[in-house]
Amino acid sequence: MKWIKDRLIDRTFLKSPKPYIVQSLLAIVAVTIMLYFVEILTHAAIVAALGASVFIVFAMPNTIAADPRRIIGGHIIGVLCGILCYYVFCAGPIGGFFEATEPIRWFPAALSVGLAIFLMSIFNFEHPPAAGTAIGIVTHEWSHLTVIFVIVFAVSLAIVKVLLRKYLKDLYT
């Protein structure tokens, strides 16, 4: 039993489970409300990236990646890098080459991630899940609605984070 307490279950949870439960429930409510307005669940990579952002905000609210500026700026950079790589390498005149050539077929997606990391870092918008946004834009057909959804979701999440700031605490030790 001691091993379970020391290794498997967070000691802070055992001492004070309330923040873990409340913040997890708040995350469910926030995501439910945001997803209610958009039927975009077919873009799994983008939804996964946004879900990771929700995890950061509700489980690690005091980290640099949970800063509202980084949430919004990171996802905007992710969207822009994804769109750029999509149009240059997938939808442009050389798109057929990348699609037909198996070994380099995933280069545009990889480039969108690298470019997003570079730009997020130099503009101080570091938000790791936003790299998933970039890859999601490149690898799946997307629309203007997808872009609007990502930005509205990021802004809404940042607003929720600001509104709940005094109630959220880091859930790690």
pLDDT tens sequence across 96-124:
666 666 666 688 889 999 999 999 999 99
Dump pLDDT digits (tens) for 52-78: 999 999 999 999 999 999 999 999 999
Q: What does the pLDDT read at residue 113?
A: 95
Closest CA to 135 of 68, 66, 89: 89
Residue 26 confidence class, pLDDT cut points 50, 70, 90: very high
State how far the Cα of 14 lies from the Cα of 1, in Å rounded to an integer: 13
C-alpha distance from residue 4 to each of 8, 17, 88 (Å): 5, 16, 52
Helix, strand, coil tally for the chain in percent (to 5): 75, 0, 25
Instruction: Give the mean pLDDT of 12-23.
Output: 90
- Which two three-digit tokens encode residue 145? 């609605």
DSSP 3-state assignment of 119? Answer: helix
Q: What does the pLDDT read at residue 61?
A: 97
Instruction: Give the mean pLDDT of 121-133.
Output: 96
- Which two three-digit tokens encode residue 14? 């055992």
| Contacting residues for 132 by C-beta, under 8 A, at least 6 apart | 45, 46, 48, 49, 52, 78
| Contacting residues for 115 by C-beta, under 8 A, at least 6 apart | 81, 84, 85, 134
CA 121 and chain centroid, separation: 16
Q: What does the pLDDT read at residue 139?
A: 84
pLDDT of residue 40 exceeding 90: no
Q: What does the pLDDT read at residue 57?
A: 97
State how far the Cα of 106 lies from the Cα of 21, in Å rounded to an integer: 40
Residue 38 confidence class, pLDDT cut points 50, 70, 90: low
Mean pLDDT of the chain: 86
Q: Which helix (H) or strand (E) holds 92?
A: none
Percent of the chain with pLDDT over 90: 57
